[in-house]
Structure 1
Amino acid sequence: MEKIKNIYEKANIYVKMLNLIKEGIGKYFFLIIFINILISTKLALSTYYHKTIIDTVSKIPINMDLAFKTLFVLWILEIFILVFNELSAYIKTIIKYRIDYTISKRITDKMAKIKVEVMENIEIYDLLDRVNSNVPTGIADTILLIIDVFLNIFKIISFSFVLINIKWYFPIVSILTSIPYLFVLSKQGFDTYIMQVAQNKNTRKLNYLFEILTNRVYSKEIRTFNLIDFLVEKIYKIRKTIWDEKIELIYKHSRWTIYINILKNISIGICLFITCIDVIQKRTSLGSVVLVISAIQNMIYSATFIMQYIAKINKQVFYINDFNKFILMPEEEDTLQKSISNFKIVCENISFSYPNTSYQSLDNINLTINENEIIAIVGENGSGKTTFINLLLGIFKPTSGAIYVGDRELPTIINEFRKKSVCIFQNFIRYQFTVEENINAGNFGQKNRLKSFYAKTFLDFVNKLPFGYNTELGQLENGSIELSGGEWQKIAICRALCREDLKLIILDEPMSALDPKVESDLYHEFRDLCKNKQAIMISHRLGATKVCDRIYVFDKGKIIENGTHEELIKKGGKYYKMYKAQQSLYV
């Protein structure tokens, strides 16, 4: 029963792959098959005419008219083969591009929908790494391998018709001696995939270490701490482990390949010996020797290639199976709700634990954010502040409890909610774009006028850049400018604030890299920035809390205090102690 299930699953994978062929290349697949039929037929004819020319010139007197006609036909056939081979290569390039584009688009579309909480599992990262590294090129290569299988099948059929005129069993001998190669190659493909899965973790570590060693961002610290030898040693050890495993596997596979090649050459020798005996005893012509050598070699090579291609296809099936697992990964709900009646946010008894952990990062959180209200969430590291924001943004779902926006649960209106809300993350992305593109990314890539305050407070440095707002940032282009941490953070803030029809602003440690003057200016203008909007500010630095309507104090995943700044100061609890510890910063 298990074998039947495995056969069904593998057949289902092949069906899906054929659907990808239809979607990606359509008519090109049948065109290349037709061209391959012509190529294989002409190759067999060319071998037959080689026999004819030898038979003609070996007879005395030589029939010059027949010899020249045969040579002319042979010349025409060679030209046709050359032209069709080039045409085949051109179409294969188109096919590879179209398949690669189709699969890559499917992967990027899926990545945009996968639930973020699923990606907390380390095994998912291994799966994603295999999919990104192997699937787009792998499936394209698999399609080309299928095409090459057809070509070599047509070659075997064509050469069999030619060879059967010498000895009827020669084609059978040629094919049978290649069959053991299929089992060897299938085992090689399986062993290689298993090894790659086992090496996934080391490969990711190696890529990470190489990125650290070669990235300009890390170069100062690496040289300051004199870490080059330390990193190189770690890279060497991981590489040695990887290569030792590969070499051991290659050695194991090479022994079996040698045995198979010896068997194939014995079969060629036997067929050639029988043909030579027939020539000596005048049962066949001298040209038959050339035909047998050429035809049997072509058939064995074609059969061998088919075995190799099938083994490679079977190997790719593992990655196609990974692709199917990837495509079936759970997605965020595709909501149809197009409008939100109001932006009052209510969190009812929400708790949350990260996947594969029993520890509750949030425990029975209840809070309300009214429209046009500004709140602050404060607490020490690990208190659950960022986890709460991840739930509010719909990145994670509560383990228990619910979040409501207006009169609807958040998941049912998540798409519209995200269009009207922005978050300035502590670890924001530094896009390697122009300044203008960096800012417009906050408004779905569309241009938007920045208020004069934003430009004056945050972007005064842009006018000093070589090309102003058109200056390329980062390291991708020659002449790109690398900004300071504070300048990057100013751009991140403007990126969030430029969103049109914005209802909710979330700031996750937004001031960490800003100088005190800019931070002070932001606090003074914060009410105006948040006019007709809700705002949530998460910060260790409590200077911003005075401008907030309500403050929630998180500790070990729970809300232990809430109220205005004045109320919490009078209470003399956790917030009071935190504020007093930082009071000198705000004098």
Structure 2
Amino acid sequence: MFDQINKYKASFGRLFEAKTLKVMLEIALLTILLSFLGPIKNMIYTEVVNKLSLGITVKLGIIMFASYIVVQVIEECVSYFQIYLNTVLQLKLGQSVSHEINNKLAKVKLNSLEMYEIHDLVSRANQTIKSSIVSSLNLIIALYTPLATIVLQLASLVWVAWYVPILIAVFNVPYIFILVKSNHRRYELERKITKEKRVEKYFVELLSDRYAAKDIRTYDLVNFFFSKMIDVKEKITLEYKRLCQKNTFQRTIATVTQSMAMAMALLLTGYLVIKKKTPIGAFVLVYNTGRNLQSAVSSFVGTISTWDQFGINFADWNRLMNLEEEPEGDEDCIDKIHEIEMKNVEFRYPQRSESAVKNINLRILTGEKIAIVGENGSGKTTLLYLLLGIYRPISGEASVNGKTMELNLDNYRKKTACLIQNFVHFQMTLRENLAPNDFSELSEDPLIDFANNFPDRLNTFLGALDSNGVELSGGQWKRIALYRTLHKKDVDLIVLDEPTANLDPKISENIINRLLKPNYNKTVIVITHDFELAKKFDRIIGMKEGKIICDSPPQAFAWELFEKHNSDKRSLPQIG
């Protein structure tokens, strides 16, 4: 046990802060005190019964009664204080574990998060692993509470007869073994159905999501999604039913053996009382001790099971903590992005046989204005993520200012701003949406002039998390995301995926004119399906099937594209 604790402590050392250890020590001291108070109270109660059967003086009765009440009050006070400390410990450990998990996930290579098994691992991290770690570390001390109670309670039965505690202990062994196996099987089931529970959660959230409700109602999909959710629920229920059937049978046997031990101990004590080999209070002692033992044994088994589950969860925790992280990079900051280059870059999504992009050779210089065009699925967005350093090439090299991009990602990202298609609608104030990291200064911009119509202006809460929250149109959310992108400080590279989608023509024209101003010295890369828009840029990159098929100024680009696809020269081929 101590070896196991030391091994865990090596992995969770940062969770054991000084304050946490202090609380655990306090719980340990209270645990020792509680372990002694139970048997003392039983012995006092036994003596009361013995004296009553023989006749006692009023003075002795008052003393014994007062002693019993004092011990009872102390036990209750200590118990409540221990509950309070346990709550404090749970909170501290829960915060520490959440911090460790979130801190790790913030550093994990984003390529890894595309893998389904990593989705399951992260899901378990935020549910099973987290709760198991908190429970286990909280019960390092609590493990000895029921154990001490069991030992002291059994020791008190020696007063009746030396073989009574042995009898009860032997008959409780099968009970402990069966409960441990039962709890172990339950964890294995939880691990097995992680994916199904994640799917179920998705359908539950989908059916209650106010954004999805419009499509679901329009296409009359309520019953369709509900039936899919029920199918998943039935699979989960069937697994739980099988587990319940097996555990019920075995737990029944375990309970019967434990009850037999209690019954035999009471019968034996009754026989000794009748034969006047022990006072009548012994019967009360055995009865009270037996009940306390049942509770202590159940608690002990629960604690052992938690450790057992944690031992299995430990592998998940190690796997999560050992996921490959993005490199911290060089200490030298990037003062300015002068050049971005890709040489023979290839990227393939996990569990896909085909590469999303391949043989990418690209050089982008400061201040260039570039449009990327291509059919849906041609690799445009993947290329965008590679340019931003979100994804790491599986082969080839992406560099910034002649240095491998991966070696300086943190500094590089500080110099970039991006608008992706599936940007997040942050449920918080407009001010916080516009500049989450630094909203001390906000610039006047026509993009957010609609805020003048809000009673609280920039302090208006957006979304449904607040009862006074304001819901926005898709175009207004897009304007907020654009403001956030265009006003990020100290940026050299701006990347936008379909920047004019969902915007009215006046706003779209304003955005494009701003990006293409001669004195706008930032590098701008946009993904667009609008060729008329693409023609306004200095350079057009055409993609098909994950490859760059054209890379030239607008005046040269059209003819190359026509020739490669044998299209009608009067119009461009369908781009998507």
TM-score (norm 1): 0.92
The CA deviation at 1:579 is 10
**Matched residue, 2:192:** 198
Q: How does 1:61-460 map to 2 (within 5 A)?
A: 62-340=56-334, 342-343=336-337, 344-441=339-436, 444-450=437-443, 452=444, 455-456=445-446, 458-460=447-449
Secondary structure in 2 matching 1:559: strand
**Matched residue, 2:480:** 491
Equivalent-residue separation in structure 2 for 1:368 and 1:136 (angstroms) = 45
Equivalent-residue separation in structure 2 for 1:255 and 1:446 (angstroms) = 62
Equivalent-residue separation in structure 1 for 2:567 and 2:465 (angstroms) = 46
Alignment of 1:476 onto 2:465 = yes
The CA deviation at 1:198 is 2.3
Equivalent-residue separation in structure 2 for 1:258 and 1:433 (angstroms) = 52
Equivalent-residue separation in structure 2 for 1:55 and 1:10 (angstroms) = 47
Q: Read off the aligned partner of 1:242 and give its amino acid letter.
A: I
In structure 2, relative to structure 1, the CA distance for the partners of 1:365 and 1:359 (3 Å cut) is same
The CA deviation at 1:580 is 6.3
Q: Tell me the alpha carbon deviations over residues 483-503 of structure 1, each in whole angstroms, 9 at most, x when there is no partner.
A: 111111111110011111110
Equivalent-residue separation in structure 2 for 1:143 and 1:553 (angstroms) = 56
CA contact (8 A) 1:127 1:322 kept: yes
Q: Read off the aligned partner of 1:309 and give its amino acid letter.
A: T
The CA deviation at 1:78 is 0.5
Q: Read off the aligned partner of 2:33 and give its amino acid letter.
A: L
Larger displacement relative to structure 2 (19-28 or 124-133): 19-28
In structure 2, relative to structure 1, the CA distance for the partners of 1:187 and 1:472 (3 Å cut) is same
Equivalent-residue separation in structure 2 for 1:217 and 1:535 (angstroms) = 31
**Matched residue, 2:547:** 558
**Matched residue, 1:536:** 525
In structure 2, relative to structure 1, the CA distance for the partners of 1:583 and 1:407 (3 Å cut) is closer
In structure 2, relative to structure 1, the CA distance for the partners of 1:34 and 1:195 (3 Å cut) is same
Q: Tell me the alpha carbon deviations over residues 218-237 of structure 1, each in whole angstroms, 9 at most, x when there is no partner.
A: 22222222222222222222
Q: Read off the aligned partner of 1:473 and give its amino acid letter.
A: L
Structure 2 unmatched ranges of 5 or more: none
The CA deviation at 1:85 is 0.8
The CA deviation at 1:93 is 0.7
The CA deviation at 1:512 is 1.5
Q: Read off the aligned partner of 1:364 and give its amino acid letter.
A: N
The CA deviation at 1:21 is 6.0
**Matched residue, 1:4:** none
Alignment of 1:36 onto 2:25 = no
Equivalent-residue separation in structure 1 for 2:293 and 2:519 (angstroms) = 77
In structure 2, relative to structure 1, the CA distance for the partners of 1:341 and 1:237 (3 Å cut) is closer
What is the RMSD of the two structures over their aligned residues, measured on CA atoms?
Answer: 2.5
The CA deviation at 1:94 is 0.3
Q: Tell me the alpha carbon deviations over residues 87-135 of structure 1, each in whole angstroms, 9 at most, x when there is no partner.
A: 1111011011001000011111111101110111111111111111223
Secondary structure in 2 matching 1:536: strand
Secondary structure in 1 matching 2:396: strand
In structure 2, relative to structure 1, the CA distance for the partners of 1:197 and 1:306 (3 Å cut) is same
Equivalent-residue separation in structure 1 for 2:569 and 2:378 (angstroms) = 17
Equivalent-residue separation in structure 1 for 2:456 and 2:564 (angstroms) = 49
The CA deviation at 1:345 is 1.0
Secondary structure in 2 matching 1:500: coil
Equivalent-residue separation in structure 1 for 2:389 and 2:340 (angstroms) = 13
Q: Tell me the alpha carbon deviations over residues 320-363 of structure 1, each in whole angstroms, 9 at most, x when there is no partner.
A: 33222111111100113332265211111212222233312222
The CA deviation at 1:15 is 4.2
The CA deviation at 1:14 is 4.1
In structure 2, relative to structure 1, the CA distance for the partners of 1:192 and 1:341 (3 Å cut) is same
Q: Read off the aligned partner of 2:499 and give its amino acid letter.
A: P
Q: How does 1:502-541 map to 2 (within 5 A)?
A: 502-528=491-517, 531-541=520-530
In structure 2, relative to structure 1, the CA distance for the partners of 1:529 and 1:119 (3 Å cut) is farther
Secondary structure in 2 matching 1:547: coil
CA contact (8 A) 1:448 1:500 kept: no
Equivalent-residue separation in structure 2 for 1:553 and 1:296 (angstroms) = 80
CA contact (8 A) 1:130 1:319 kept: no
CA contact (8 A) 1:182 1:310 kept: no
In structure 2, relative to structure 1, the CA distance for the partners of 1:158 and 1:578 (3 Å cut) is farther
In structure 2, relative to structure 1, the CA distance for the partners of 1:177 and 1:304 (3 Å cut) is farther
CA contact (8 A) 2:266 2:283 kept: yes
Secondary structure in 2 matching 1:486: helix
Q: Read off the aligned partner of 1:488 and give its amino acid letter.
A: W
CA contact (8 A) 2:342 2:398 kept: yes
Aligned residues: 572
Equivalent-residue separation in structure 1 for 2:568 and 2:76 (angstroms) = 80
In structure 2, relative to structure 1, the CA distance for the partners of 1:420 and 1:18 (3 Å cut) is closer
The CA deviation at 1:169 is 2.5
Equivalent-residue separation in structure 2 for 1:403 and 1:261 (angstroms) = 65
**Matched residue, 1:26:** 21
The CA deviation at 1:20 is 6.2
CA contact (8 A) 2:346 2:396 kept: yes
